[in-house]
A and B are shown apart, each in its own frame.
Chain A
Amino acid sequence: GQQLNQSPQSMFIQEGEDVSMNCTSSSIFNTWLWYKQEPGEGPVLLIALYKAGELTSNGRLTAQFGITRKDSFLNISASIPSDVGIYFCAGELQGDSWGKLQFGAGTQVVVTP
């Protein structure tokens, strides 16, 4: 079953505000990935994290791989209307030689002008 807890489930924010979401697990992960999904489309990779403590940015997006290897967060700064979508975290379990990903249930972000 699903091992990742992603929160919050949804966020309603005003344009210009910062957004923060996170994923936690009882398991240790080798890799954390953050995806965005827009309506009618498949998820698109935003940021990939490969080392504990790693902090990586992609434009207004910043993600970190937790020191314990059991969590990760994603921040979006100065949100704009096109940030609307569902954001998913995904983790690759430590010890999984092949690399199957576990996905969180997603955080729905709605941005109002």
Chain B
Amino acid sequence: NAGVTQTPKFQVLKTGQSMTLQCAQDMNHNSMYWYRQDPGMGLRLIYYSASEGTTDKGEVPNGYNVSRLNKREFSLRLESAAPSQTSVYFCASSQQGGRTFGSGTRLTVV
């Protein structure tokens, strides 16, 4: 099925460990995004990529890096995980207007 695919679905990290969250879309969308979702706070934008080859900071970029590998793929990296990064992470893509979201990665940092 067409859409946004995120891996992994669940991850537990120890403080200080690193990991990369993967995201791929097969809708030929130009723009891709990474959000985090915390209870009672809606979705907050971490980084976005308006088009292949460009990335920009969103609302809460500290502690994260991203790579727009090609038009399909946009990865999010935590270099040194902290408990404050415990959250559900969503990748999304769009051509214009509304975003299409993946099903999320639930990350726990202990």
Bound Cα distance from A40 to B101, whole angstroms: 12
Contact A48 B102, beta carbon cutoff 8 Å: no
Which chain B residues lie closer than 8 Å to A99 at the CB level? 96
Asked whether any CB of chain B lies closer than 8 Å to the CB of A85, the reply is no
Looking at B14-22, B43-51, B74-82, the stretch in contact with chain A turns out to be B43-51
Asked whether any CB of chain B lies closer than 8 Å to the CB of A66, the reply is no
A9 (CB) vs chain B CBs: closest residue: B40
Which chain B residues lie closer than 8 Å to A44 at the CB level? 101
Contact B98 A45, beta carbon cutoff 8 Å: yes
Q: Which of A40, A101, A106 contacts B99 (CB 8 A)?
A: A101
Asked whether any CB of chain B lies closer than 8 Å to the CB of A60, the reply is no
Contact B98 A100, beta carbon cutoff 8 Å: no
- Chain A residues 26-53 with CB under 8 Å of chain B are 31, 33, 35, 40-45, 48, 50
Bound Cα distance from A45 to B98, whole angstroms: 7
Contact A103 B103, beta carbon cutoff 8 Å: no
Contact B101 A43, beta carbon cutoff 8 Å: yes
Asked whether any CB of chain A lies closer than 8 Å to the CB of B32, the reply is no
Q: Quote the shortest CB–CB distance from B24 to chain A (angstroms).
A: 14
Q: Which of A2, A33, A43, A48 contacts B41 (CB 8 A)?
A: A2
Asked whether any CB of chain A lies closer than 8 Å to the CB of B34, the reply is no
Asked whether any CB of chain A lies closer than 8 Å to the CB of B92, the reply is yes
Q: Which of A48, A50, A88, A98 contacts B42 (CB 8 A)?
A: A88
Contact A41 B104, beta carbon cutoff 8 Å: yes
Contact B101 A42, beta carbon cutoff 8 Å: yes
Contact B98 A42, beta carbon cutoff 8 Å: no
- Chain B residues 59-92 with CB under 8 Å of chain A are 59, 90, 92
Contact A100 B43, beta carbon cutoff 8 Å: no
Known: A42-B90, A42-B103. 13 other contacts (CB 8 A): A1-B59, A33-B97, A40-B104, A41-B103, A41-B104, A42-B4, A43-B43, A43-B90, A44-B101, A88-B43, A104-B42, A105-B42, A106-B42
Q: Which 8 A-B pairs have the closest CB atoms?
A: A42-B101, A103-B42, A45-B98, A103-B43, A105-B42, A33-B98, A43-B101, A42-B103
